[in-house]
Structure 1
Amino acid sequence: MLRDASIYERMGDRMSQIGLGRGLTGMSGRDPNETHRSATPLELLYDLTFVVAFGMAADQLAHMLAEAHIWEGIGGFGFAMFAICWAWTNFSWFASAFDTNDWLYRIMTMLQMIGVVILALGLPPMFHSLLSLEAGGSLDNRIMVAGYVIMRVAMVAQWLRAISQAPKHRRAAVAHASFIFVAQLGWVTLALSDPPPATVLAMFPVLILLELAGPVLVEKRHGGTPWHAHHLAERYGLLTIIALGEGVFGTVASVSALVEAEGWSTEAVVTILAGVGLTFGLWWNYFITPSAQVLAHHRRRAVVWAYSHIVTYAAIAATGAGLHIVAYTIQGSSHIGTLGAVTAIAVPVLIFEIVLFALYTFMMQEFDIFHIALIVATILLIATAVALAAFGSSIGLCLIIITFSPAIVVVGYETIGRKHAAEALARTLA
């Protein structure tokens, strides 16, 4: 009997650790210096919904670009990626500061996951409606906005809970909840009122700036929240890996189209090497910047660091879309040809590298002249690939050349840059 009682006691302790068999936990705020803080299983489950969202956005972009609807595709993709990334950003920062892992927190997280799925389902009608704007049509973003608002309402509920249970961080929580609530009123009004396209285009930047302004003011004027630097750096790294999955999907789509059209060939093998190599190179490049160490010592650099990731994730997802366009080109269903397909990969890769260098410089607060050589070499390689595509070279060859652009950064870092980065980090932390 004593042995059985001990077993039940251990089971109760385990259930308590994972948030079962207990009531609500006070949301007083986590310790920003907590040791061994890492992503939770709930956060990893939440991130799975963004696999779908990134994939849907990239797929819609690929369709639009392949049909030569360039500006409509870019505009819709930019709007979609902001909504996706911003919702994820708010959840992750809140979780880093106030995660309680109790039943109410889990239910609110599930509600946000439902919102992500609905948002993803609303992307195709939003993209398609962009084609009708010139003919006097209207933007159909109602489903997309509905999903976004569901996520944001759940986020407001979380902030209201923090307001009532975390007096130390009440001012920051009130500010966050207020900005989110006002912005959602704007999005709902815009979606339901069906205004002219010119009004929509004018209101988008206003509402986006309102969304972005909240965290800036909270961090500067209201004391911020107790987010954990190493935890957030890990979370952003994990979402980077999820976004890079689009590169793998795009590679598979391209090779499948090539094999179906021509059978297994040297071109198919080269495309596999190029697609996987490019994805791997972007991954390697991303993790060069020691974000966690810098953020732990310089918390005020967090806002710029976080906002730059919206562009980073968009560039990664767009690279995957470019690989999908390669598949359409091989199948003969693309209207932009080999040059357009190669450009669709080259441009987002270049944007990724530029943001990466800029972010590294900002985080370290110093410029490494060695980076000039790496940037120039990267630009030259990407430009060479585009030029070869213009002169009729094969897609496989062009992809291989683009793949070497992040490889240059990797080689530069592993031979010279690693020492420079260690010295720069020491100066930054000092």
Structure 2
Amino acid sequence: MSYTYVPWRLPLDGRDPDEEHRASTPLELLFDLSFVVAVAAAAASLHHELEFGHFDGLVPFAMMFFGIWWAWLNYSWFASSYDTGDVVFRLVTFVILTGVLVLAAGVPRVFDDDPDFKIVVVGYLIMRAALVPMWLRVAHDSPGVRPIALRYAAGITVVQILWVARLGFPDGAVGILSFISLAVAEMAIPYWAENSIEEYTPWHVEHIVERFSLFTIIVLGEVILATTQAISATLDGHGLTWDLTGVIAGGLLLVLSLWWIYFKRSMEECINGRNGFVFGYAHYFLLGSVAALGAALATCVNVVEHDAEGIGPTSAALCVSAAVSVYLLALGSIHAYGDRSFRTMTGPVAIAALTFVAAFIGTALTDHVGLSVLLIGVVATGAVVDHQVRRAPLTTG
């Protein structure tokens, strides 16, 4: 019997960006699963808003998802460069895990008529502030990237102070504008830091791509779980109907098609040079749309069982189309950046438009949401089939 000794502290002098067979660690997978708890909380709150026709619930959802996504992205990128696997690194990761659980606990309060951001901000501060001492360690252990590390540490510290100050701002337009301003400031930190000198943090391209891919799969799995729970509750009360069957079949086609579309090409080629900003930032919309899709499908189930107030079949179907469209456009932008060509966006834009046509046709023909969701799923499946046909190898003989 053998055991693995974990060193207490190793120098943060950077991983090899060309390391072969770099893969996600068990700690990173635990990290992802913990963050999905917060994603589920945000999606559940959005679902509650949509089923009552409160479309303004998209605003707090976008805010909450930004906090979740940004904390996840920054840790993942840092770990790709400096994960030593030592005790200190593990403990810092556990602190961030605690922060995301605190944030998840505060999510429902943000969706109240009188939103309360205090718990969410505390959770967010825990996640972000935990990286400050790690960047200071990098500044000490890696002289070559010291200016970058110090800029990260300073930038994170200043912006977190501003998040606390924002708690005193009034709700409404002022609150939204202040949030957007600080979100932009957060996203500017990596650009400001990484462009301070010619050196760069040694993140691993293949590892980063795998991290984003796995998190996308986990969030897609959350969509399946949320929809299944909603369907199960409906079956208990009303049994299986043609309308519900359409939602089930369409939802399944959507999840499987979105998975297929995500992995239809190598993402490594979409990170030109070592500039990962477009790749990383576009995933805010991609991952957020997946979470929103779960809320939209659950709302469609509510419409089927006549348990939704303030939203009808057409509006519910359009919510599904909107979520799928954002996903397609976000993924298309990543591919277009990799190709250095806007022509790559032609397909995603066309498919996105067809999902809205499908939503209108379905409810126009039956006045039920099931056919619309099914048709949207067929459109997404058609995109997969088209991709396969276009790229099938030529045969002779």
Tell me if both proteins adopt one fold, taking TM over 0.5 as the criterion: yes
**2:43 paired residue among 58, 62, 75:** 58
Query: How do 1:10-409 residues align onto structure 2 when only pairs under 5 Å count?
Result: 11=2, 15-16=4-5, 20=6, 22-71=7-56, 73-128=57-112, 131-132=113-114, 139-191=115-167, 193-195=168-170, 197-222=172-197, 223-295=199-271, 298-300=273-275, 302-335=276-309, 336-368=311-343, 372=346, 375-390=349-364, 392-409=366-383
- One-letter amino acid of the counterpart of residue 95, structure 2: L
The alpha carbon displacement at 1:418 in A equals: 6.7
Q: Tell me the percent identity.
A: 33
The alpha carbon displacement at 1:268 in A equals: 4.0
Structure 2: how far apart are the matches of 1:95 and 1:325?
37
Deviation by residue 1:217-259 (Cα, 9 ceiling, x = unmatched): 2233333310000000000001101111232023313422432
Structure 2: how far apart are the matches of 1:202 and 1:251?
33
Q: Is the 8 A contact 2:152 2:190 kept in 1?
A: yes
The alpha carbon displacement at 1:39 in A equals: 0.3
SS in 1 for 2:195: helix
The alpha carbon displacement at 1:157 in A equals: 1.8
The alpha carbon displacement at 1:415 in A equals: 1.5
Structure 1: how far apart are the matches of 2:230 and 2:172?
36
Distance 1:305 1:66, change over 3 A: same
Equivalent residue for 1:136? none
SS in 1 for 2:297: helix
| Larger proportion of helix | 1
Equivalenced residues, count: 392
The TM-score with structure 1 as length reference comes to: 0.86
Distance 1:265 1:66, change over 3 A: closer
Q: Is the 8 A contact 2:223 2:293 kept in 1?
A: yes
Q: Is the 8 A contact 1:329 1:338 kept in 2?
A: yes
The alpha carbon displacement at 1:261 in A equals: 3.6
Structure 2: how far apart are the matches of 1:166 and 1:198?
43
Equivalent residue for 1:423? none
The alpha carbon displacement at 1:407 in A equals: 1.4
The alpha carbon displacement at 1:393 in A equals: 3.2
* Unmatched 5+ stretches in structure 2: none
Distance 1:368 1:412, change over 3 A: farther
The alpha carbon displacement at 1:198 in A equals: 4.1
The TM-score with structure 2 as length reference comes to: 0.93
Structure 2: how far apart are the matches of 1:78 and 1:341?
19
Deviation by residue 1:21-46 (Cα, 9 ceiling, x = unmatched): x3311110001000110100000011
Structure 2: how far apart are the matches of 1:142 and 1:203?
15
- One-letter amino acid of the counterpart of residue 41, structure 2: M
Structure 1: how far apart are the matches of 2:236 and 2:371?
19
The alpha carbon displacement at 1:390 in A equals: 4.8
The alpha carbon displacement at 1:281 in A equals: 0.6
Structure 1: how far apart are the matches of 2:171 and 2:70?
25
Q: Is the 8 A contact 2:351 2:383 kept in 1?
A: no
Distance 1:377 1:92, change over 3 A: closer
Structure 2: how far apart are the matches of 1:418 and 1:33?
32
Q: Is the 8 A contact 2:324 2:352 kept in 1?
A: no
Q: Which has the larger radius of gyration?
A: 1
Q: Is the 8 A contact 1:346 1:386 kept in 2?
A: no
SS in 1 for 2:251: helix
Structure 1: how far apart are the matches of 2:373 and 2:152?
44
Structure 2: how far apart are the matches of 1:194 and 1:379?
39
Structure 2: how far apart are the matches of 1:231 and 1:418?
29
The alpha carbon displacement at 1:328 in A equals: 2.0
Please, what is the CA RMSD of the aligned residues? 2.1
The alpha carbon displacement at 1:83 in A equals: 0.4
Q: Is the 8 A contact 2:250 2:374 kept in 1?
A: yes
Which piece of structure 1 moves more, 156-165 or 227-236?
Answer: 156-165
SS in 2 for 1:221: coil
The alpha carbon displacement at 1:277 in A equals: 1.5
Structure 1: how far apart are the matches of 2:8 and 2:123?
29
- One-letter amino acid of the counterpart of residue 120, structure 1: A
SS in 1 for 2:108: helix
Structure 2: how far apart are the matches of 1:342 and 1:254?
16
Structure 2: how far apart are the matches of 1:154 and 1:418?
48
Structure 1: how far apart are the matches of 2:177 and 2:358?
38
- One-letter amino acid of the counterpart of residue 59, structure 1: A
The alpha carbon displacement at 1:378 in A equals: 4.4
- One-letter amino acid of the counterpart of residue 48, structure 2: H
SS in 1 for 2:130: helix
